[in-house]
Amino acid sequence: MKIAFADRELLLQALKDLGYELEEGDDLRITNGVKSVKVDFLVKVPYTDSIGFRKGKNGWQLTADWFRVNLDRKQFENRLKQRYAYLSVKQSLEKQGYCIAEETKDEKQRLHIVLRRTEF
């Protein structure tokens, strides 16, 4: 699943929903391998190095020295993409006049959503 993190606010909300603490600022840097990279915000990961995000030409890109981050990279990225996609779809549907009436997860953790059209 290829998702571009185009919307900063949705990305920040997805990270917060996943329980991560964020740090924003102008002079944030992260070591990515042997070089230092300027980032727009950091995801604080307890007892390990942080993960940085910076604006690229195709949206927000994550950068980290994954050898020093105590998280499984694929699992982190997949959970973030899933939450970001959920928030993006929800926002789009709300703009079209729908609201979520019911959400359930099945035994395989697949999300099932029932929508209701709201009155204008």
Task: Please report, for the chain, the start and end positions of each structural domain, with discontinuous segments joined by +.
Answer: 8-117
Buried b (16+ CB within 10 A) or exposed e, 15-45: beeeebeeeeeeebebebeeeeeebebbbeb
Contact 75, 89 (CB under 8 A): no
Question: pTM, whole model, 2 decimals?
Answer: 0.86
Instruction: State both tokens at 14.
Output: 């997805």
Q: How far apart are CA 96 and CA 90, in angstroms?
A: 10
- Mean pLDDT of all residues in 83-88: 93
Q: What is the mean pLDDT of the chain?
A: 88
Residue 29 pLDDT > 90: no
Q: Give the model's pLDDT for residue 2.
A: 56
